[in-house]
Structure 1
Amino acid sequence: MGTTGEPGRRRTRDTYRRVIGLTGPLLPCVSFLGRLPTATIQFGSVLLVARTSGSLGAAGVTGGALALGRVACGPLVGRLADRHGQRPVVLAFSLANALAVAALVAGALAGLPTPVLALQGAAAGATVPLVGPLARARLIALARRADAPQNVVGAALSFESSLDELSFVLGPALVGLAAVLAHPAYAMAAAAALVATCGSAFALHRTARAVAPARVAPGPGGAAASGRAGPRPVRTRAQRAPMPRRVLALFTALAVQGAVFGACQAGITALTARLGQEDQAGLVYAAMGVMSAVAGLAMAAVPERVGARTRWRLATGAGCALSLPLPGTSGLPGLYAVVTVLGLAYAPHLITVFGMVERAVAPSRLAEAMGVATSALVGGQALAVAVTGRLAEAHGPCAAFTAASTAAGLAFVLALTVRPTTYAGEPGKALHARVRDAQPR
């Protein structure tokens, strides 16, 4: 085993070293801590309002408003980052999000009415700085500028997806721990402090220049173009290519994957409650997330000859097959086994679809596309939790798990039928969206 597998493991390690070499070791740490509050405040807002108001209904309304604000404004944050650069946008939204989360904590502790808390929750969701999607766009830009081979770009997507998975495992766990030991307000306050510091550090990191939107144009008379000394170059806004229609199918695929997440979450919560083991719900979901993160990191070892469409079909086919035992799961050991194994298919699916989105859009819309993709994933999850949660209350966890399997089947059908295209615009009609240098050469 050591002789046959060691070359592959060495190649994988070397690939990830190249990924880290694109940014340095500081940026992954900062981006991970900067995206952790996003995973914390969604679950934390529900626990906080439930604890302070004593009403699960008020907690659900506040958490739903937060998710709605995030879904609605996520594409706007990405669009602003494409037009004005990540540095000012992330910096402004990080500070605004810290203030919005702090206001929500203060409002909940003060016992404000539910409509006010819902507005505060919507503000907290709308100001999320999208560190995760923008970190993904930034790393891809760095890889493209360095003319990195496709396996390095794929490893970058794998690395970023694994960081996302780990943040969405660790965030709710920290909130739950704070709720048990003290009060959810402490976790929310820590999230506000973290997004203000690490979000700002992500914005100010030197690699933000890799996704600067400015272009250098010659001054009047075209002196710069002719090589003669002339007026100082001026910055002009980059032209924005339209969003390709076929990329909408990829956004739909992410929304459907989000629905799988949400339905699984509702089913896990309902089944553990039925078994009298409510405290196990977070652990079960965390086990699935950890397995997904491991599978995501392993994606760097997949040979380049296995194309994106093939990976998409394999990942969704595996997800569909592995979800089939869900409706028949009735005990805690079986739940752990089925859900953990199901996690193997999640990250490969997300990594593949995010990679196809990156290939399909123009460089001037990369951050916006990543924002829309993330909003589709979050929106699908939030809608599925709301719908399948009611199904689980009325018909038991089997109904929610059946919905999860159905959504997984729909994801497989999309992978079989959709034919995504690549961006064929400038520069050089490249097969991938390449990000130009922010500074003249």
Structure 2
Amino acid sequence: MASTVKNRPGYGQLLRTPGAWTFLLPGFLARQPFAMLTIGIVLLVQHTTGSYASAGVVAAVTGVSMALFAPQSGKLADRFGQRAVLVPGVLLHTASVSALIALALSGAPLWALFAAAVPTGASVPQIGPMVRARWAAKLEGSPLMTTAAAFESVTDEFTFVVGPVLATALSTGVHPAGGLIAEAVLTLAGGLFFAAQSRTQPQPSRAAGHARVEHASALSIPGVRVLAVAFLGIGSVFGGMQVALTAFSEEIGNPGANGLLYGIFAAGNMLAGIACGAIAWKSGPRRRMVLGYAGLTLAASALWAVHSVALLAGLGLLVGLCIAPALIGGYTLVESLVPASARTEAFTWLTGAVALGQAAAVTVAGRLADEHGASAAFVVPLVGTALALLTLLALRSRLSPRAPGRIAARGMGHRVPVTVD
């Protein structure tokens, strides 16, 4: 699929980028709550209502709300600056989560929980896309962009390993609202800390004088629309695997296997992300992304037929290994498809697409699991990734860069052609 070269741009070189650590550390802290929100809501609402269905619907409302509003947050951040959006955003999110907790603990009706879930999801700080936008601004045209995309993928996956564990431990061992309280506190502290690092944020398009593009949406770029549809497939894997693995573990009478199986799945994603960032690819990100989706579809096609924990663990690992190239390829393409004045918005469209795909997958897979069992729920990742792959193959030409064949600087005295295929 690709091969390495002698002077490969690795993680060491990436982390020596001037000013990188000033936004990486606060960014890592600030993105932890993202992975705690859904499980925190499920555990609290299930405890107060006694219904997993109600808990799932409230969590889904939050996810859909985030998917719809995140791109608008990204667009405002591109125009006015990340700090201008983050500070009021984290304050609104903290207040919304606090209201959701109070309503749930007081036994409020479901419609009231929905009313609080909407602003809770809409105000989720888009730290991951903002960090990616900072990398893109610092590494404009550099071969290190692929390494940065891989690094962010690994960081995101590590977050989704640590965050749910922390939220579950607090909700089950301390207080039913413990996970959500921690999420709100970390959002407030981490978000304000990250916002304070204003020197490394991309220059706002309004300040830069981009009068002709400041109102243009990143979604007006055909390639971004294709990537957003493709990333719905990634969301279907995350949401479908969560439900299907839970249902499978319950069917075999070993609920504790769920954490192990999902951990192996997440580990596969992390390992592949590390490998992707350590390799200087000769093939472009577009080809790697298509191959990643092809492998993901192939691996997901066998999930429904597996009834052994050991086999499912191995297949889950393979599915996780295929996710990273698909995600990293898509995020890397943004740098060549989207002008700097709209990149934060573009990244949030992709993140929002994953959240929307996950919310839809949780709902569909949950119904299938209730009516037909875990095997039926495992069909959701297959259908989602297959549709995403067909979209990529049919609309592959729209992922061409804005300036094909342009030259990008490498280091101080080397130049390499930038390719996407």
Which TM-score applies when normalising by structure 2? 0.88
Q: Is the 8 A contact 2:5 2:280 kept in 1?
A: no
For the 8 Å contact 1:214–1:237, the answer to whether it is kept is no
Greater shift in the superposed pair: 93-102 or 412-421: 412-421
For residues 255 and 290 of structure 1, the distance between their equivalents in structure 2, rounded to whole angstroms, comes to 21
Name the structure 1 match of 2:398.
Answer: 420
Instruction: Give distance in 2, aligned partners of 1:302 and 1:240.
Output: 37
Alpha-carbon distance change, 254 to 314 in structure 1, aligned in 2, over 3 angstroms? same
- Cα distance, 1:431 vs. partner? 7.8
Instruction: Measure, in 1, the Cα distance between the counterparts of 2:256 and 2:117.
Output: 25
Match of 2:174 in 1: 182
1:51 to 42, 47, 54: 47
Once residues 62 and 297 of structure 2 are traced to their aligned partners in structure 1, the CA distance between those partners, rounded to angstroms, is: 30
Match of 1:157 among 149, 152, 174: 149
| Pairing partner for 2:258 from 281, 285, 294 | 281
Deviation at 1:358, TM superposition (A): 3.0
What is the CA–CA distance in structure 1 between the aligned matches of 2:384 and 2:55, rounded to whole Å? 27
Aligned to 1:67: 63
The match for 1:89 among 85, 91, 106 is: 85
Equivalent position amino acid for 2:363 in 1: A
> Could you say what secondary structure the match of 1:258 adopts?
helix
Q: How far is the alpha carbon of 1:199 from its aligned partner? A: 0.7
Deviation string 1:64-98 (CA, Å, 9 cap, x unpaired) is 22112111111111011011110110121112111
Could you tell me how far 1:28 is from its partner in structure 2?
A: 1.7
Deviation at 1:370, TM superposition (A): 0.9
Structure 2 match to 1:230? none
Is the CA contact (8 Å cut-off) linking 2:81 and 2:202 kept in structure 1?
no
Assess, with a 3 A threshold, how the Cα gap between structure 1 residues 184 and 364 changes in structure 2: closer, same or farther. Answer: same
Q: Structure 1 residues 309 and 11, CA, compared in 2 at 3 Å: closer, same or farther?
A: closer
Instruction: Provide closer, same or farther for how the CA distance between residues 240 and 70 of structure 1 changes in structure 2, counting only shifts above 3 A.
Output: same
Residues 424 and 409 of structure 1, relative CA distance in 2, 3 Å threshold: closer
RMSD between superposed Cα atoms in Å: 2.6
For 1:7 and 1:292, the matched residues in 2 are separated by 24
Q: Pick one of 241, 244, 249 that aligns with 1:267.
A: 244
- Please state whether the residue corresponding to 1:420 is helix, strand or coil: helix
1:399 aligns with 2:391: no
CA contact (8 A) 2:364 2:380 kept: no
Task: Describe the shift of the 1:431–1:126 C-alpha distance in structure 2 as closer, same or farther (beyond 3 A).
Answer: farther
Q: Name the structure 1 match of 2:161.
A: 169
Q: Hey, what does 1:337 align to over in structure 2?
A: 314
Q: In the alignment, residue 253 of structure 2 is paired with which amino acid?
A: G
Q: 1:79, 1:367 within 8 Å by CA — same for their partners in 2? A: yes
* Secondary structure class of the residue paired with 2:132: helix
CA-to-partner distance for each residue in 1:98-121, whole Å, 9 max, x for gaps? Answer: 121122122222222211111111
Does the aligned pair in 1 maintain the 2:9–2:280 contact within 8 Å? no
Question: Are the counterparts in 2 of residues 108 and 117 from structure 1 also a CA contact under 8 Å?
Answer: yes
> Are residues 1:364 and 2:356 paired?
no
1:424 partner amino acid? R
Any conservation in 1 of the 2:234–2:385 contact (CA below 8 Å)? yes
Question: In the aligned structure 2, how far is the partner of 1:269 from the partner of 1:324?
Answer: 19
2:397 aligns to what SS in structure 1? coil
Post-superposition offset of 1:330: 0.9
Map 1:171-320 → 2, pairs under 5 A: 171-215=163-207, 239-241=214-216, 243-320=220-297
Query: How many angstroms apart in 1 are the aligned matches of 2:371 and 2:4?
Result: 52
Larger Rg computed on CA atoms: 1
Q: C-alpha offsets along residues 292-334 of structure 1, whole Å, 9 cap, x if unaligned?
A: 0221121123334211222122211221222232111112222
> Aligned residue for 2:414?
none
Q: CA shift at 1:267, angstroms?
A: 1.4
Within the candidate set 76, 79, 84, 1:80 is matched to 76
Q: CA contact under 8 A between 1:362 and 1:423: conserved in structure 2? A: no
Give yes or no for the alignment of 1:21 onto 2:17: yes
What is residue 39 of structure 1 aligned with on the other side? 35
Cα distance in 2, alignment partners of residues 51 and 59 from structure 1: 9
Pick closer, same or farther for the CA change 1:82–1:60 going to 2, 3 Å: same
How far, CA to CA, are the matches of 1:257 and 1:268 in structure 2?
Answer: 16
Given that 1:87 and 1:203 are in contact with CA atoms closer than 8 Å, whether structure 2 keeps it comes out as yes
Alignment of 1:341-356 (within 5 A): 341-356=318-333
Structure 1 residue 240 displacement after superposition: 4.1
The amino acid that maps onto 1:317 is A
1:126 is aligned to 122
- Cα deviation per residue 1:106-158 (whole Å; 9 max; x = unaligned)? 222222221111111122111111111111111111212xx6x22x1111111
Unaligned stretches of 5+ residues in structure 2: 409-421
Q: How much does 1:17 deviate?
A: 3.2
- Distance in 2, matches of 1:237 and 1:366, equals 16
Q: TM-score, normalised by structure 1?
A: 0.84
Residue type at the aligned position of 1:93: G
Q: What one-letter code is carried by the residue in structure 2 that aligns with 1:341?
A: L
Whole-angstrom distance in 2 between the partners of 1:298 and 1:250:
22
Q: C-alpha displacement at 1:379, in angstroms?
A: 0.3
Residues 403 and 114 of structure 1: is their aligned pair in 2 closer, same or farther, counting only changes over 3 Å?
closer
Q: 1:28 to 1:114 in 2, by over 3 A?
A: same
**Does the 8 Å CA contact 2:157/2:266 hold for their aligned counterparts?**
yes
Matched, 1:381 2:349: no
Percentage of pairs with the same residue: 31
Letter in 1 for 2:397: R
Q: Which runs of 5+ in 1 are unaligned?
A: 218-234, 433-441
Task: Give the distance between the partners of 2:389 and 2:406, measured in 1 at CA.
Answer: 29
Q: Name the count of aligned residue pairs.
A: 403
1:45–1:121 Cα contact (<8 Å) kept: no
Q: Is 1:116 the equivalent of 2:116?
A: no
Contact 2:132 2:149 (C-alpha < 8 Å) held by counterparts: yes
Q: Is the 8 A contact 1:176 1:184 kept in 2?
A: no
Deviations 1:40-80, CA, capped at 9 Å, x for gaps: 01111011011122232331232122112111111111011
Q: Distance in 2 between matches of 1:129 and 1:47?
A: 22
> Which whole-Å deviations, capped at 9, do the CAs of 1:218-247 have from their partners, x for residues lacking one?
xxxxxxxxxxxxxxxxx9786444521232
